[in-house]
Structure 1
Amino acid sequence: MAYRNIFLIVFGWICVGLGIVGAVLPVMPTTVFLLIAAWAFAKGSPRLHGWLLDHPRLGSYIRDWELYGAIPLRGKITALVMISLSASWMVFFSTLPALAVGGTLAVLACVLVFIFTRPSAAPQSDI
């Protein structure tokens, strides 16, 4: 096995571990680490990539993202609420300079635009 594949597999497992921590701790993201793990496994180990895609709880979300760029509506609403709370805290309680606050709010707005322009589910077939 090539060193590159070993690195990607180890990196993928680290991301899976961080994703698990993120599922328990509200301050850590879960999805981003699992998507990075899926990417690393796809490049380093098709078997582990398949395992992640076939996972009973996580597989459908990762598969929908890889195939269609879909973000579930529940995830979109959660992102909207968390970003709104963070932005509100920053505006009302932060001591950061106005330029830093404005720049951060602009980035958060762009993130929300990206999230809400993705499909909410995989397309339904007409079978």
Structure 2
Amino acid sequence: MLKKTVIRSVWLVIGLVSLLLGVLGVFLPLLPTTPFVLLSAFCFSKSSTRMHSWLLNHRIFGQLITDWEAHGVIRTKIKVIATSSMLLLVSYPLLFIAFPIWLKAIVVISIVSVLLFIWSRPSKPSDNQVKDPLKL
């Protein structure tokens, strides 16, 4: 019983830290929001039904998580917002601040990797995922 409580507590802490990083990712261009929020949802599903439900019903993050959990989908609107914000927030420092070229390369590789992941995900559920399970 104690082991189960400790494991749930660890999942809860990881979920809270991940959610904090996701919220920071809204403001920091190299810190992606979506993966951290999705990780939070996963951790909360293992630790706290109350926190998981809160996140699923959240005004901003709820639909994103529901789409991902149900269909593995990142909607086009979210992809465009993520792409725009990353490019906007990173372009000025890369172009106008004198960082070493190797540091700029790391930033560019990071941004491109995240964007490749985001844009490689489906934008809407496939036809067979949307079918009503009651109509068999």
Instruction: State the TM-score, normalized to the length of structure 2.
Output: 0.68
Residue 55 of structure 1, aligned match among 54, 57, 60: 57
Distance 1:113 1:20 in 2: 19
Q: CA deviation at 1:39?
A: 1.3
2-structure distance, mates of 1:99, 1:26: 24
Identity %: 28
Code of the residue aligned with 1:107 in structure 2: it is S
What secondary structure, in the 3-state scheme, does the structure 2 residue paired with 1:2 have? helix
Residue of 94, 114, 117 corresponding to 1:111: 114
For residues 92-115 of structure 1, what are the alpha-carbon distances to aligned partners after superposition, in whole Å with 9 as ceiling and x for unaligned? 112211121122112211211111
In structure 2, what is the equivalent of residue 79 of structure 1?
82
How far has the Cα of 1:13 moved from its partner?
A: 4.4
Shift of 1:87: 3.4
**C-alpha distance 70-43 of structure 1, shift in aligned 2 (>3 A):** same
Structure 1 runs (4+) deviating above 6 angstroms are: none
Q: Deviations over 1:16-44 (max 9, x none)?
A: 5x379559x74486544432221111222
Give structure 2 stretches of 5+ with no counterpart.
Answer: none
Q: Is the 8 A contact 2:38 2:65 kept in 1?
A: yes
Q: Aligned AA for 2:90?
A: A
Change (3 A) 1:53 1:100: closer
Q: 2:94 is aligned with what amino acid?
A: V
1: CA distance between counterparts of 2:22 and 2:120? Answer: 27
Specify the alignment match of 2:45 in structure 1: 42
Give the number of equivalent residue pairs: 124
Structure 1: runs of 5 or more not aligned = none
CA RMSD of aligned residues (A): 3.0
In structure 2, the partner of 1:121 is 124
